[in-house]
């Protein structure tokens, strides 16, 4: 990293508010120039250590996102706010894919961040929470360097520790929901406490699933006092659940049980929990299957034969070529179909009261003209004729009719093995078969990678969308 000597705004990037970045190329190699806000003279220059434009733009975006997360300009920041930033960085560092050029670049970048953070800790008037965050950030950087050499253990433990700390954050409860040490504590009462605390941070659709899972568990545990529960009680619960449920369903229910029990221990409602190691392994993989290529082609052939103004035509088509979740699809509006550069996309967002499963689900997905016969021009005409919402049905009816159509076209059973969601599995399989990088596939599917490098903004968004568009063309051909 080089620093223009005329800069008077700070000693390193972590102390400086930055204007819009500038990329340039010298002798075939790409560089990132960062200028402090309010000046036309001082600037920082980082070599991106690559001659490949796409790689340079990705590395550049990562640098900018990391700097934004590390900025130490808010002495009032709570530890929870800083911890969330650190968790994002740690998860991304753990899960990102590297090529030879990016390994070299990131080793250099991490060294510079490490030095800058140590200087900030020594010289800046940081609050206790900020100093704590700097200390943890240094650990993350050191563990990230190890991970790039094939040793990821320390970084895994850091991520786990930051997540566990999140579970232990205590919130005051209303008197009606408090529990005294002498009272019996059933799972029904405990899960009510958990849901009351988490109701502001969990999406409504997810909360419905949480409530349903907890009710199933509470029905079996009945009036068992969890303050005195044993390992045998938990094993009996598992066996009862397995009597009339698939192993994959029981695995999900026991995951929910562990979440609630861990929360209870961290918040002092229970001294211990005996729920670990109960999940069934045989047959516990998801019962959802991917459609075969012949089945996908049959669905698209049926869709293309429907009238151009039939919502079923476009719901099926988008499921096949974009791999959306069914509720993401149902909520699409006319404004969500847009152009990014030269690429038409659908924008999955939380605007106007829409919901999304996770923050990683917020994304844009390129539309691949010609994939399985998909006609982009005709679809855009459908969008123009639509009201604000592309699909007018409510969630239950939309899912019922769309899944019913799939069963009718393919002649499959209503056993939840092959459903609309299976189209996501099919697209994921196509991306894998086409050897698309994991990070790009996760960006398309909205999987929870924790990556901060795919936040789309500024000049980098066109690059990321272009890369996703190319990946889909390759996977769907």
- pLDDT at position 450: 39
Residue 330 neighbours by CB under 8 Å, 6+ apart: 391, 393, 395, 398, 399
Domain boundaries, the chain: 13-19+51-167, 175-266, 293-476
Q: What is the pLDDT of residues 231-269, one digit of tens each?
A: 999 999 998 888 878 887 888 899 899 999 999 998 889
Instruction: Check if the beta carbon of residue 254 is closer than 8 Å to that of residue 241.
Output: yes
Q: What is the pLDDT of residues 301-313, one digit of tens each?
A: 999 999 999 999 9
| CA separation for the pair 377, 138 (Å, rounded) | 51
Task: Kindly tell me the sign of the dihedral angle through the C-alpha atoms of 71, 48, 339, 300.
Answer: negative
| CA separation for the pair 344, 380 (Å, rounded) | 9
Could you tell me which CATH number the domain at 175-266 has? 1.10.150
Closest CA to 89 of 115, 74, 109: 109
Q: What is the pLDDT of residues 370-414, one digit of tens each?
A: 999 999 999 999 999 998 899 988 877 888 899 889 999 998 876
Residue 89 CB coordination number (10 Å): 24
pTM of structure: 0.47
Domain 293-476: CATH superfamily is Intergrase catalytic core (1.10.443.10)
- pLDDT at position 48: 67
Instruction: Check if the beta carbon of residue 226 is closer than 8 Å to that of residue 264.
Output: yes
Of the listed ranges 124-128, 185-189, 211-215, 332-336, the least confidently predicted one is 124-128
């Amino acid at each position: 990293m080089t620093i223009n000597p005329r800069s008077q705004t700070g000693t390193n990037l972590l102390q400086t508010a930055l204007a819009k970045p500038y990329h340039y190329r010298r002798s075939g190699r790409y560089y990132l120039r960062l200028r402090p806000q309010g000046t036309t003279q001082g600037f920082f220059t980082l070599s991106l250590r690559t001659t490949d434009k796409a790689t340079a733009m990705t590395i550049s975006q990562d640098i900018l996102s990391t700097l934004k997360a590390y900025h130490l300009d808010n002495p009032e920041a709570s530890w929870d706010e800083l911890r969330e930033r650190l968790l994002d960085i740690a998860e991304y560092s753990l899960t990102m894919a590297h090529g030879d050029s990016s390994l070299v670049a990131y080793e250099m970048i991490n060294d510079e961040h490490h030095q800058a953070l140590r200087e900030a800790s020594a010289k800046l008037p940081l609050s206790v929470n900020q100093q704590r965050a700097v200390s943890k950030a240094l650990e993350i950087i050191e563990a990230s360097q190890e991970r790039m050499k094939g040793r990821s253990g320390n970084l895994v433990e850091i991520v786990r520790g930051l997540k566990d700390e999140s579970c232990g954050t205590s919130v005051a409860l209303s008197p009606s929901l408090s529990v005294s040490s002498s009272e019996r504590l059933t799972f029904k009462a405990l899960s009510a406490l958990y849901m009351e605390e988490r109701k502001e941070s969990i999406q409504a659709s997810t909360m419905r699933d949480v409530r349903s899972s907890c009710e199933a568990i509470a029905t079996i545990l009945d009036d068992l006092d969890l303050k005195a529960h044993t390992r045998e009680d938990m094993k009996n619960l598992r066996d009862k659940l397995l009597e009339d449920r698939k192993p994959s369903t029981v695995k999900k229910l026991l995951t929910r049980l562990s979440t609630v029990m861990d929360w209870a221990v961290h918040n002092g409602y229970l001294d211990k929990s005996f729920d670990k190691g109960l999940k069934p392994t045989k047959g516990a993989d998801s019962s959802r299957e991917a459609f075969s290529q012949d089945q996908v082609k049959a669905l698209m052939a049926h869709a293309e034969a429907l009238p151009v103004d039939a919502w079923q035509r476009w719901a099926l088509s988008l499921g096949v070529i974009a791999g959306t979740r069914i509720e993401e699809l149902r909520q699409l509006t006319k404004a969500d179909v847009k152009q990014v550069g030269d690429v038409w996309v659908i924008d999955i967002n939380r605007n106007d009261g829409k919901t999304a499963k996770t923050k990683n689900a917020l994304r844009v997905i390129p539309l691949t003209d010609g994939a399985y016969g998909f006609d982009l021009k005709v679809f855009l005409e459908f969008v123009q004729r639509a009201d604000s919402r592309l699909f007018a049905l409510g969630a239950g009816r939309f899912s019922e009719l769309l899944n019913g159509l799939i069963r009718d076209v393919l002649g499959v059973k209503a056993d939840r093995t092959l459903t609309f969601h299976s189209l996501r599995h099919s697209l994921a399989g196509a991306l894998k078969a086409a050897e698309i990088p994991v990070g790009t596939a996760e960006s398309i599917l909205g999987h929870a990678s924790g990556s901060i490098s795919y936040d789309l903004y500024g000049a980098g968004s066109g690059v990321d969308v272009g890369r996703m568009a190319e990946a889909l063309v390759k996977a769907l051909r």
